């Protein structure tokens, strides 16, 4: 009898698995997306940690330990993204490097600010400073890498805490640019949306972020799953987006940034997707005039705004070159 039951199970197992997969794909696509994101990040060797600040609990991924012979790296993601977006980069970085990727408050697994809490780029700079002090990152200067919103946060952090920064990599940072892409024009006019609520809006946002449309799967169920995962945080994302748009329109804030950015004396690297349809590549020229110690400028062909996902191998190669750590690293 036991053998007969085992035989029956062996015959039925594929059918059961197919039914479970179909259920998840059509009924709970959010679980499919969530598992895929989780696996993609943690398969790199990153381990999640939590640490409590004065106002928020921060969740971050970490691989390796601090090494006196190598500069640690701190990654800061973009608007409505999370630490998991750095998975393709982390996967390709040498294992000897100490890496930390944080979820900004309101993103990923970190605590979301309350309705009465201030939400702004400046507030995020204070959050990052509290975080690096909590984890002991201020004991030795580190390499900060930020993309999009994370890029402008990293730049402003370096203005105020340049002694903590050994070097700075800005990937398509969310700054004003001499020329403005259509997507950004729409966002500033309240027409475009970085907080999608429909499959069509989600596809439009992703199409605007990627030059290579095959870089991520855009199946309808995947888009639906992504929308479900973001739904609970949408009220916060709208508040944050409003703050970002107001900052973009505020001449006084950018005049202040232009003056203070000259205090960023650490070595700086700029990486930009040549086909970026969110933050125009004319930002390279703009930042060249402001930052006194830009040592490396890399504009990647056939690449949009999501540089670290579209061209992860190329990006890693450029970062290692900036760190003088290429060491025969092959581009993927």
Instruction: Sort 218 into a burial class: Cβ within 10 Å, 0-12 / 13-18 / 19+.
Output: middle
Polymer length of the chain: 332
pLDDT at 1 over 80: no
Give the count of beta carbons closer than 10 Å to the beta carbon of residue 88.
Answer: 22
pLDDT tier for residue 217 given thresholds of 50, 70 and 90: confident
Domain coordinates in residue numbering, the chain:
29-322
With beta carbons less than 8 A apart as the criterion, state whether 81 and 107 touch: yes
Identify which has the larger pLDDT, 288 or 187: 288
How does 319-332 read in b/e, with b if 16+ C-beta sit within 10 Å?
A: bbebbeeeeebeee
pLDDT at 31 over 60: yes
Residues of the chain with pLDDT > 70: what percent?
89
Q: Which CATH architecture has domain 29-322?
A: 3-Layer(aba) Sandwich (3.40)
**What does the pLDDT read at residue 226?**
94
Give the Å distances, CA to CA, from 234 to 55, 156, 247.
21, 25, 20
pLDDT at 5 over 70: no
**What does the pLDDT read at residue 218?**
76
**What does the pLDDT read at residue 91?**
96
Residues annotated as catalytic (active site), given as ranges: 148, 276, 305
Mind listing the pLDDT tens digit for each residue in 226-251? 999 999 999 999 999 999 999 988 88
With beta carbons less than 8 A apart as the criterion, state whether 59 and 49 touch: yes
- What is the three-class DSSP state of 227? helix
Mention every residue, 6+ apart, whose C-beta is less than 8 A from residue 316: 89, 92, 93, 329, 331, 332
Distance of alpha carbon 63 from alpha carbon 97, whole angstroms: 8
**What does the pLDDT read at residue 3?**
55
Chain-wide mean pLDDT for the chain? 90
pLDDT tier for residue 326 given thresholds of 50, 70 and 90: low
**What does the pLDDT read at residue 290?**
94
Distance of alpha carbon 121 from alpha carbon 107, whole angstroms: 14
**What does the pLDDT read at residue 330?**
39
Distance of alpha carbon 154 from alpha carbon 268, whole angstroms: 11
């Amino acid at each position: 009898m036991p053998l007969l039951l085992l035989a029956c199970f062996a015959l039925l197992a594929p059918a059961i698995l197919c039914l479970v997969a179909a259920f998840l794909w059509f009924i709970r696509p959010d679980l499919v997306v969530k598992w895929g994101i989780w696996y993609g990040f943690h398969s790199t060797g990153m381990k999640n940690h939590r640490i409590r600040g004065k106002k928020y609990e921060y969740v971050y991924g970490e691989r390796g330990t601090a090494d006196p012979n190598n500069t640690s790296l701190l990654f800061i993601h973009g608007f409505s993204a999370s630490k998991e977006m750095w998975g393709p980069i982390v996967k390709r970085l040498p294992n000897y490097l100490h890496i930390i990727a944080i979820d900004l408050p309101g993103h990923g697994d970190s605590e979301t600010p309350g309705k009465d809490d201030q939400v702004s780029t400046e507030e995020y700079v204070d959050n990052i400073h509290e975080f690096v002090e909590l984890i002991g990152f201020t004991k030795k200067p580190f390499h900060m890498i930020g993309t999009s919103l994370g890029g402008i946060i990293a730049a402003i952090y370096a203005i105020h805490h340049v002694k903590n920064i050994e070097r700075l990599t800005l990937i398509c940072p969310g700054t004003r640019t001499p020329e403005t892409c259509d997507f950004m024009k729409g966002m500033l006019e309240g027409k475009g949306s970085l907080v999608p609520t429909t499959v069509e809006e989600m596809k439009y946002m992703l199409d605007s972020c990627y030059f290579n449309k095959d870089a991520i799967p855009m199946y309808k169920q995947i888009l639906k799953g992504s929308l479900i995962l973001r739904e609970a945080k949408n009220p916060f994302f709208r508040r944050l987006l409003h703050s970002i748009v107001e900052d973009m329109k505020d001449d006084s804030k950018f005049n202040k940034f232009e003056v203070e950015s000259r205090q960023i004396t650490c070595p700086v690297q700029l990486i930009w997707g040549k086909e970026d349809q969110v933050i125009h590549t004319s930002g390279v020229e703009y930042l060249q005039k402001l930052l006194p110690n830009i040592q490396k400028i890399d504009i990647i062909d056939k690449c949009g705004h999501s540089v670290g996902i579209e061209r992860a191998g190329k990006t890693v190669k450029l970062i290692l070159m900036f760190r003088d750590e290429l060491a025969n690293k092959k581009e993927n």
